[in-house]
Amino acid sequence: MTNPTASDRPGTPIHVDYRKWDGTPHWQSDGTLLGVDENGCWVGFPQGTHFERPGAAFDLDRDSVSLFPDAGYTPAFNRPTDRPEQVVVYVDITTPPVWSRTDDGGWQVTMIDLDLDVVQRANGFSYVDDEDEFADHQRKFGYPDDVIRQAEADTRSVFEGLRDGRAPFDGAGWQWMRRLVEPGAAERSDSLH
């Protein structure tokens, strides 16, 4: 499988293509490659980045960094504000991301959104969201039993990892956020080693 590596240039365009089980488009956005580490591929979305899906659209009101690992989930780390109820980590449970090259020399990452989300607010409160949508879509789309079991297992694992501060929820997202919001942070960090 082809996907970005540590040798890919930061700033490379990345089109993020979430789909539903039947192939219909879900959230679409464009970010830039921040880099690749042992957790996966990190993509930056500066404040103002446009997100859209059929029937809905918004522009980010703060900076965000997403991780696309070789696993069934994709976390977004949202730059904190002073609001305790703000969502700072939002994890979509998905099929594993699949990468393809785009005509402009960038990348597209595509995954199927499996409805379940693990959410953490700035005050530390974490919860699982959209369990009702997951149940409805099992019937509507006919999710196979193994997909259902894997999505449930991934949800438990992500929730526990977020609660316990295990990678990639061990501060890695905030380190990559620094690279997005502080130009030159990566070079300064590298020069200290």
State which residues of the chain have pLDDT below 50: 1, 188-193
| pLDDT given at position 4 | 87
| pLDDT given at position 193 | 37
Domain presence at residue 186: no
φ/ψ (deg, to 5) at 163: -60, -40
How many domains does one find in the chain? 1
Q: Which two tokens stand for residue 141?
A: 């789309």
| pLDDT given at position 81 | 83
- Provide the CATH number for the domain around residue 67: 2.40.380.10
Rounded to an integer, what distance in angstroms lies between the CA atom of residue 110 and that of residue 128?
23
Which residues constitute the domain of residue 144? 13-179
Instruction: Provide the whole-model pTM.
Output: 0.91
- Which residue's structure tokens are 């809905």? 56
